Amino acid sequence: MQKLETLNGFDKRQSVEVKVGKVGIGGANPVRVQSMTNTDTADVEGTVQQVKELYDAGSELVRFTVEKDAMAMAVPKIKQRLMEDGYDDVALIGDFHYNGHLLLEKFPEMAMALDKYRINPGNVGFGEKHDANFDTFVQFAVKYNKPVRIGVNGGSLDQGLLKKMIDDDMKLPENEQHGANRVFLDAMIASAIRSTNRALELGMRKDQIIISTKMSGVQEMVYCYSTLAKLTDQPLHLGLTEAGMGDKGIIASTSALSLLLNQGIGDTIRVSLTPEPGAPRSREVRISQQVLQSLGLRFFLPQVTACPGCGRTTSVTFQELAQETTEYLAKQMPQWKAQGYEGVESMHVAVMGCIVNGPGEAKDANIGISLPGSGENPAAPVFEDGKLVKTLQGPTMKQDFQKMVQAYVEKRYGQNKILATAK
């Protein structure tokens, strides 16, 4: 199996490649970004619109809830609409709990339309029913030749398994017991591994199984995935579940994902952010992308390096320029991508507040501007690839800088465009 080395020089964990629709996960593929809708799946139009929004933002796989007949009946229609509108690359995942085995039997068109099924081994029934329902679910995945994610979740861990593991731990001499918290985590891991082995016994191939063990604690998540990474070479889907809202949700998710990705662990990620009322669902996709880009694992959008500002920046010009440049890059990116400016997604633009660190950072960027701090000469040198190319000043400085960024993109990445066209 190919060993991957990231840009930061650390090795990515080796894993089997699983194909979900047209999207490869694990193996030599980059870490994939995925998300989940929050529409009623039975609402075909609303769900189609949100899948498009998520895909357009960069979500390569989109999952939706399938828990009622009306939702199952909507799935083939959603798929059809997406294909008619040219969205045939997005991989569609059905999220099943409790009755997945029944829905897959009752709605074969739904079963065929989906690219992957998610099963939570903690939510398939209790006792004997648990095993029978799990087996039936997996047998449908075999029948329709679809990959599955065995998605264990801390909030719905198989209670029978947990109880048995706690009882076993209690039987150990006191100084050898692991304690409830550790046993809980080990039960998450055991549930994932057992379910994977059972799915393999039932005829699934190794290249059809992805695993996740999601929970809401950062350290706990890191423990589970680090342990899983040593026990299996199935691709791992990372995510901190119930991450929460706003800063807390973003920071907790970023911490957990970064700690694991930085060890080369993780083949696909989802940021489970609770959106503020009215906020776009696609925010979680942008955060996933930003995590991967900040770690140097993938590039999606040119980045702005900006200093925080301090007592040397007495006007808001610097903050405005940093903000407007960030917005300008995001706005231009789809156009640059469509025009074939290959590599522009890894461009660095610096917007700096004064002479202290300004020229240094601006020289390190592809293109950078160092604004004058208070008391400095009101002129802003612009550097391209480390060389001073112009000094801007006056009221049109922001527009002039954007024009220079556009010209730089055409000059630097237009070369790649010509080469790509010539191939």
Nearer to ligand SF4, 51 or 350 (CB): 350
d(CA 302, CA 138): 42
Nearer to ligand SF4, 224 or 307 (CB): 307
Selected from 86, 278, 308, 375, the binder of ligand SF4 by CB under 6 A is: 308
Q: Compute the radius of gyration of the chain from its Cα atoms.
A: 25
Residue 325 found at the interface with ligand SF4 (CB under 6 A):
no
User: What residues numbered 359-398 form the site for ligand SF4, per CB under 6 A?
Assistant: 373
Selected from 159, 226, 314, 357, the binder of ligand SF4 by CB under 6 A is: 357
CB 46, CB 9: distance < 8 Å: no
The token pair that represents 122 in the structure block: 């903690």
Binding segment toward ligand SF4, per CB under 6 A, in 114-122, 180-188, 290-298, 353-361:
353-361
Strand, coil or helix: 310 = coil
Shortest distance in whole angstroms from residue 360 CB to ligand SF4 = 9
CB 216, CB 208: distance < 8 Å: no
Selected from 18, 307, 350, 369, the binder of ligand SF4 by CB under 6 A is: 307
Beta pairing partners, 368: 350, 383
User: What residues numbered 167-186 form the site for ligand SF4, per CB under 6 A?
Assistant: none
SS3 content of the chain, % helix, strand, coil (to 5): 50, 20, 35
DSSP 96-160: E-SSHHHHHHH-HHHHHH-SEEEE-GGGS-SHHHHHHHHHHHHHHHHHTT--EEEEEEGGG--HH
Contacts of 338 (CB under 8 A, 6+ apart): none
Q: Determine whether 413 is exposed, middle or buried from the number of CB atoms within 10 Å of its CB (0-12, 13-18, 19+).
A: buried
Number of residues engaging ligand SF4 in binding (CB under 6 A): 13
Residue 353 found at the interface with ligand SF4 (CB under 6 A):
yes
Nearer to ligand SF4, 377 or 421 (CB): 377
Binding segment toward ligand SF4, per CB under 6 A, in 136-144, 152-160, 347-355, 384-392:
347-355
Shortest distance in whole angstroms from residue 293 CB to ligand SF4 = 23
Residue 114 found at the interface with ligand SF4 (CB under 6 A):
no
Residue 102 found at the interface with ligand SF4 (CB under 6 A):
no
Shortest distance in whole angstroms from residue 394 CB to ligand SF4 = 20
Residues in touch with ligand SF4 (CB under 6 A): 307-310, 312-313, 352-354, 356-358, 373
